């Protein structure tokens, strides 16, 4: 064999190993996105289970504030639907509505001293607030994993392997700026 044959075989092996390394990195990034989403999903399910308990306690004290409680339950249902369908965009919008509804519910609770003093309400409020904070933290990790994945599958030479093997762009979990504003407590009492 000639020396040029060894060089060609050597270059082929190096290119093959490099392609394998790119593929393995892309797979790792894809699974990090899935793992990050699973971490959010756990908290969403926990919060989903706590909300009916909170609404029931509030109903005992806030009989005529039915509209606020209905908004929370409707948003809860929209979150569950988006979660089941895997629609990240719809989930972001539903999450925004749920956060606004919860903010309104907690703000209205201020007008009911007996409700605020109820230990079950306090426990659920603390639990749901903690879950909200956890979701926000994990959303940040999810979006970072999505960003790393999306950048990698668009960079050269990774884009070649990504396109050949059908790696997909992941969707960021975003909330509308309008929905992220603080709840106007004064407006709720008018």
- Candidates 41, 52, 29, 34; CA nearest to 91 is 41
pLDDT tens, position by position, 62-90: 765 777 778 888 888 888 888 888 888 88
pLDDT tens, position by position, 117-149: 788 888 888 888 899 899 989 999 999 999 999
Cα gap 126→166, rounded to integer Å: 44
- The residue to which tokens 């903010």 are assigned: 103
Q: Taking a C-beta distance cutoff of 8 angstroms, is the pair 141, 39 a contact? A: yes
Q: Where are the domains of the chain?
A: 3-188
pLDDT of residue 68: 78
C-alpha atoms less than 13 angstroms from C-alpha of 190 in its C-beta half-sphere: 4
pLDDT of residue 105: 83
Cα gap 186→190, rounded to integer Å: 7
Q: Is 180 exposed, middle or buried (0-12, 13-18, 19+ CB in 10 A)?
A: exposed
Collapsing DSSP to helix, strand or coil, 130 comes out as helix
Instruction: For domain 3-188, give the CATH number.
Output: 1.20.1440.20
Q: Estimate the share of the chain in helix, then strand, then coil, as percent rounded to the nearest 5.
A: 80, 0, 20
Q: pTM for this one?
A: 0.72
- Candidates 122, 135, 54, 63; CA nearest to 94 is 135
Q: Taking a C-beta distance cutoff of 8 angstroms, is the pair 37, 142 a contact? A: yes
């Amino acid at each position: 064999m000639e020396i040029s044959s060894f060089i060609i075989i050597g270059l082929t092996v190096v290119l093959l190993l490099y392609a394998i390394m790119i593929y393995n990195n892309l797979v790792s990034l894809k699974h990090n996105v899935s793992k990050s989403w699973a971490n959010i999903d756990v908290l969403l399910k926990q919060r989903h289970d706590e909300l009916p308990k909170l609404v029931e306690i509030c109903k005992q004290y806030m009989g005529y504030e039915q509209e606020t409680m209905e908004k929370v339950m409707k948003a809860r249902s929209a979150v569950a639907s988006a979660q089941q369908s895997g629609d990240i965009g719809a989930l972001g919008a539903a999450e925004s509505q749920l956060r606004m509804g919860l903010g309104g519910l907690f703000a209205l609770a201020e007008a009911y001293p007996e409700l605020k003093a109820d230990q079950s309400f306090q426990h659920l409020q603390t639990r749901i607030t903690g879950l909200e904070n956890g979701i926000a933290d994990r959303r940040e990790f999810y979006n970072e994993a999505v960003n790393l994945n999306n950048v990698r599958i668009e960079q050269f030479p990774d884009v070649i392997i990504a396109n050949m093997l059908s790696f997909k762009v992941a969707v960021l979990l975003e909330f509308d700026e309008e929905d992220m504003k603080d709840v106007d407590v004064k407006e709720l009492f008018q």
